[in-house]
Amino acid sequence: MPTNLCRFYDVWQAAREDNDGGIPYRRQLGLPVLRALSAHLVVFERIGPGDLRVKMSGTAMDALFDRNLTGASIYDVAERNAGDAMVAFYEALLDHPAGGYACDILVMETGKRIRAEYLTLPLLNRDGERVQVASLCETEIDGYGLPSKGLEPRITYSELVSVSHLDIGLGLPDYTFTMKGNAPDKK
């Protein structure tokens, strides 16, 4: 994994140790702890089944989508097929707490291609509910998109290069993923 993803894991693991080995609270991953990594961080919160919203987004992630992502649904930034795969991946990590690593090729409607490598880890909200995941993303942008002209760009296609669940001591979700951005199939 890239260095920043390893650093993020170390920060998350230290917060976990401060929480008696349990999943850390989101407040434990504040700016003083994350420092420069926070620009590449997105925290998603499950509002209901299939409804994941951005609870917090870093400046680098906002710049990637030409807007502040806070409050946005995954379907606000991705078309249905790409969004379904993203939602299924994050929900699997919430339903059975585990870490997740993925590398995607994302194609935006502007033609921009983004290679995104990300590490996603579960978090507790302030009430101690397991409804949030934090995802740190490293990106490489290939190609040039036309100016958005006030339109908010969306992901039109996602191809998983690699994806895996990471056992953080609580086992692994009961899902497998296909390699063309499809939603996972339950075993």
Cβ within 8 Å of residue 127, ≥6 positions away? none
The rounded percent of the chain whose pLDDT value lies above 90 is 38
Q: What is the pLDDT of residues 57-78, one digit of tens each?
A: 999 989 888 889 999 999 998 8
pLDDT score of 129? 94
Mean of the per-residue pLDDT values of the chain: 81
What 8-state DSSP symbol labels residue 73?
B
Q: Does the global pTM surpass 0.85?
A: no
Q: How many whole angstroms separate alpha carbon 161 and alpha carbon 149?
A: 31
CA 69 to chain centre: 12
Q: In the chain, what's the furthest Cα-to-Cα distance?
A: 49
Residue 166's beta-bridge partner residues? 99
pLDDT digits (tens, 9 = 90+) for 90-145: 898 898 888 889 888 888 777 778 888 999 999 999 999 999 999 999 887 655 44
CATH of region 3-100+116-136+163-169: 3.30.450
Q: How far apart are CA 145 and CA 107, in angstroms?
A: 10
pLDDT at 181: 43
Phi/psi for 51 (5° steps) reads: -120, 95
